[in-house]
Structure 1
Amino acid sequence: MTTDFGLKETGYIAPSFAEILDGVEDDYRTRLGDDIALTSNAYLGIFARLMSDASYDLIQQQEQIYYSGFYSTAVNSALDRLAGNISLTRKVDAPSHAEVVITTEGEYLIQAGEKFETEDGLVFDLTEDVITSKQSDGAFQGTGNVECEETGEFTNVPANTITLFANPDEDFISVTNPRPAGGGQDYEDDETFRKRLIMENAARPGPTEPGIKSALMNLNGVKQVGFIDNDKYKTDEYGNPECSVHIYVLGGNDDEIAKTLIDKCAAGITLAGSIVKEAPDATGKLKEVKFDHAQQHNIYVKIDVSINDDWNSDAGVDDIKQAICDEINSLEMGQRVNFTRLYSVTYDVNGVDDATIAIGSTKDKLADQNISIGRSEFAHCDPGDVEVDLIGL
């Protein structure tokens, strides 16, 4: 075969099937003469195509092997093996965890395995026994940890949503989760894993800001990490004490976050935050850390759309809503929402001729202007927060 292929100075050259076939046919003509029949129904033509097809499959496999050696192009198990070289593993499906406060009629032993639910039917199991005791206000309360029976990011339910007893008892008064559930994780796809692998390779987990971020991003359910450094000898404009670091985490389990901060933060660093947790250090001594979860900044969108004959009346509106949400929800913590960027994803939906977009932080105040997001906030939009009006229908 005269076609040039293989590893060259510029990388791996993989010809197309047509190029391989041309090379095989040229070889035949060189050896057998120019007057031979090489059409698709001729004997030699069929044989040439069979040879070309086998060579094409082999070259494609060789190309895949070549690209499996690089972070930017490896996929599936090859990407997992590359990550294993630096002791990094892909995140797999995991359930969320939450802390619940249970109120009973009197002192009561609630055994591990007791089930609690959300209004949407998500079931959480108590992971250890809880004994309720009398509080200063006279109520009998106890605190315990629960784990969702299902896995995935959707199990990271908001605060005060685990409010139902799966097995009601006359001694049970109420249950709730004061803080959101965290740690729920979908299976990490190649592109998400690849970004984390590249970040890990650039900044290994350690006491630097990139190193702490890398370590936290390896935890199940953690999607973003932000920092506010106050290097002044006075309280900053965010209320952080002097010479402190305030770490904001989007998602994740509080206990795992605390343990990671104990392991990776430099000695003597002052951490700020409203969430206070204790975790053991390498010697087993309990240390206290502080941090916060990033706050959700809801974004509302209204779009007036003119459509053409290519419009899909069944899925078009949902496609626009999902495209808008994906664009907004992909922004980093503290990143401004530019309303003009929503036009491109809207026009990408088949059948859209023209569009007018307004956005806002509340439903009743929408305008064609950008929205600033606080450093400790992340922009979020649900399909139900997007209103799409079709012009002329």
Structure 2
Amino acid sequence: MAFKEEHLAMLLAAVPDKYDKLPGSFIFDALAPVAEKMAKQDDRIEEVEDKLSIDNLSGAELTQRVRERTGQERRAGTRSKGSVTVTGTGTIRIGDLFETPSGTQFRSTESKDITSSGMVMIEALIEGPSGNVPANTITLFPVTLSGFTAVTNPSSTSDGFAEESDTDLRKRYYEHIRTPASSGNKAHFRNWAKEVAGVGDARVIPLWAGNNTVKVVIIDSDRKPASNNIVAAVQKYIDPGANGKGEGAAPIGAFATVASATGVTIEIRVTAVLNPGFSQQQAIDGITSKMTHYLRDAAFVETLVSYAKVGALILDTDAVADYTGLTINGGTSNILIGNTEVAVLGTVSVNV
């Protein structure tokens, strides 16, 4: 950052010493505003220079630069979707509201006449993971619906994802320029898949079922197996019906099949020595958080879950001073993750 004092000293040095240049003099007072203006201009120049690198951009500026250079758009957030069972007789209309006790609201996405009881499709009002709620938690009518007395969701809602982060967008930008996509090559199929909201990453398997066939294996934005809805959206975008007719992004003659990665559950068991002031639950929560981040970063990048890395993560947890008896899926070896698989955290059991 430029400083006014440095510029003022430079300007005063250019004036012959035979003139009075002390603070309060005419020359000093005349040059001080010029020095301040020069300092502000230098700061602006530094700011612009910083923005020449995409690594220094964020938010709307990053979105604009990526769009200008690659045509890629930041993936939008998505609303969680699911269904509720309503009890009563009457008509549910598009936009009718349902709510959890914690205040998460959903709206009906269909109009439907109900007699005694019936199922209605819903989506969260707000984009993001807050709409992913467990089964039997949508139990309230924030606005009374005539004829209906009860509501619940028999299954959890899903596929609510936040807008693509700056980190993920920047990563996708670099993938685009470092692995050029053209004429339906592997990079092209991967880029197409990752343009769909809710997709976190993709792998492309060429000739998987013979000539002119391509399999695209995807995971969601949480780096977990993708839902059927996300798979269907990617299939429609790349090759509707997997018929190779060129009705999607893929060229004519390329028969593309989209599938979700298969989840490999990772079960952690360990006996821990706790640091003073920490509880068993805090140890479980800390290890769970560390493992969630590790598996997210490793998804479609690493080919195994490392026993040594898991041990290091446990020791790095605030609540844990030491541990013994660590097992992953009942053993003490690395867990191999196949090309069409993704590791998903299961139960974390901590004995103290």
Which TM bucket (shorter chain)?
0.5 to 0.7
Deviations 1:319-368 (A, max 9, x none): 5542332122222237421132235545556697655572424xxx253x
Select between 252-261 and 213-222 the one with higher mean Cα deviation: 252-261
Distance 2:320 2:152 in 1: 50
Q: 1:51 to 1:110 in 2, by over 3 A?
A: same
Over the aligned positions, Cα root-mean-square deviation in angstroms equals 5.2
Deviations 1:206-239 (A, max 9, x none): 73332232222222222222344454559xxxxx
Alpha-carbon contact 2:137-2:152 (below 8 Å) kept: yes
Aligned match of 1:152 = 128
Q: Which of 139, 163, 166 pairs up with 1:190?
A: 166
Is 1:265 matched up with 2:250? yes
Q: 1:89 to 1:245 in 2, by over 3 A?
A: closer
Aligned match of 1:358 = 326
Aligned match of 2:293 = 326
Distance 2:150 2:287 in 1: 46
Aligned match of 2:265 = 297
Aligned match of 1:67 = 50
| Residue 82 (structure 1) shift | 0.3
Distance 2:102 2:125 in 1: 13
Distance 1:56 1:341 in 2: 49
Is 1:248 matched up with 2:218? yes
The percent identity for this pair of structures is 15
Aligned match of 2:190 = 213
Number of corresponding residues = 322
Larger RCO (alpha carbons 8 Å, 6+ apart): 2
> Given residue 82 of structure 1, which amino acid in structure 2 is its aligned partner?
R
Is 1:82 matched up with 2:39? no
Q: 1:305 to 1:326 in 2, by over 3 A?
A: farther
Aligned match of 2:245 = none
Aligned match of 1:385 = 348
| Residue 372 (structure 1) shift | 2.0
Distance 1:173 1:351 in 2: 41
Distance 1:127 1:207 in 2: 36
Distance 1:89 1:243 in 2: 28
Q: 1:357 to 1:92 in 2, by over 3 A?
A: farther
Alpha-carbon contact 1:117-1:162 (below 8 Å) kept: no
| Residue 152 (structure 1) shift | 1.0
Distance 1:119 1:205 in 2: 50
Distance 1:166 1:111 in 2: 16
Q: Which of 367, 371, 392 pairs up with 2:335?
A: 371
Aligned match of 2:223 = none
Deviations 1:242-274 (A, max 9, x none): 9552533424744532331232233334445xx
Aligned match of 2:200 = 223
Distance 1:333 1:120 in 2: 35
> Given residue 72 of structure 1, which amino acid in structure 2 is its aligned partner?
D
Q: 1:197 to 1:166 in 2, by over 3 A?
A: same
Deviations 1:266-307 (A, max 9, x none): 3334445xxxxxxxxxxxxxxxxx634653634435363575
> Given residue 207 of structure 1, which amino acid in structure 2 is its aligned partner?
G
Distance 1:299 1:43 in 2: 75
TM-score, normalization by structure 1:
0.59
Aligned match of 2:175 = 199
Alpha-carbon contact 1:298-1:380 (below 8 Å) kept: yes
Alpha-carbon contact 2:94-2:109 (below 8 Å) kept: yes
Distance 1:119 1:306 in 2: 35
> Given residue 332 of structure 1, which amino acid in structure 2 is its aligned partner?
A
Alpha-carbon contact 1:329-1:381 (below 8 Å) kept: no
| Residue 68 (structure 1) shift | 1.4
> Given residue 197 of structure 1, which amino acid in structure 2 is its aligned partner?
Y
Q: Structure 1 or 2: larger helix share? A: 2
Q: 1:90 to 1:324 in 2, by over 3 A?
A: same
Secondary structure in 2 matching 1:381: strand
Deviations 1:90-116 (A, max 9, x none): 345431234x4869999x965433556
| Residue 127 (structure 1) shift | 1.0
Residue ranges of structure 2 left out of the alignment (5+ in a row): 221-225, 241-247
Alpha-carbon contact 2:138-2:151 (below 8 Å) kept: no
